[in-house]
Amino acid sequence: MILLALALSLSLSQEGEVVVRARNKGQPQVPATMLVEPVAMFVAACDADGDGTTSSPELDACVAKSFVAIDTGNAGKLRYLAYADWAKRYLGDANALPSPFEVDRDNDDQITLEELQRHFAKLYTRFNKDGQPGISRAELLTFRTAPIDKNGPAGPPPRKGEKRPDGPPPGGRGRR
Ligand SMILES: [Ca+2]
Ligand SMILES: [Ca+2]
């Protein structure tokens, strides 16, 4: 009788051990997305000696070279329309930042080489996070841990108090 009771409790406890309950749904990890701003792309491309970092003189020379390439009439200044050409060629899009309004310090509707170099000198300081000479590729990367769009790769978060059916809701919205 005692032996039988012992055997029963053992089997019960074994049964209890094999029950593994998974959580309702795995929480997908939000990937860290690595991005490069258009202007950071420009700075990276200015690494003339290929050592992987863009020094301040490299950046200065590179900005001058790009300026001259657009300032074909050698006017020494770019009107906003010409600046848009510069941005399109070197930043990838005419509307990419920095905008001409940011760069045009004296607001005369023209961008001089000095204004452009000044602006890039400011950017150099901004990108140079470790304070060491030169901008490394790592310093030019932008990390985003938030989902890319509203629902992102992780999907929308479950709303408070919302009861989810076992499968994914067909519409996902407006169901109570
Ligand atoms: Ca370099
Ligand atoms: Ca100006």
Task: List the CATH code of the domain at 34-143.
Answer: 1.10.238.10
CA of 78 to the centre of ligand 2 (A): 9
CB contact at 8 A, 79 and 72: no
> Which pLDDT tens digits describe the chain residue by residue (176 residues)?
444 444 444 444 455 566 666 666 666 666 779 999 999 999 999 999 999 999 999 999 999 999 999 999 999 999 999 999 999 999 999 999 999 999 999 999 999 999 999 999 999 999 999 999 999 999 999 998 766 565 555 555 556 665 544 544 444 444 44
| Beta-bridge partner residues of 13 | none
Rounded to whole angstroms, the Cα distance separating 112 from 38 reads 21
pTM across the whole model: 0.66
Residues lining ligand 2 (ion), CB within 5 A? 104, 106, 108, 110
CA of 140 to the centre of ligand 1 (A): 14
CA of 17 to the centre of ligand 2 (A): 75
The bound ligand whose nearest atom lies closest to the alpha carbon of 45 is 1
CA of 45 to the centre of ligand 1 (A): 10
State the alpha helices, DSSP H only, in 19-134: 38-45, 56-70, 80-91, 100-103, 113-127
CA atoms within 13 A on the CB side of 145: 1
Rounded to whole angstroms, the Cα distance separating 35 from 121 reads 22
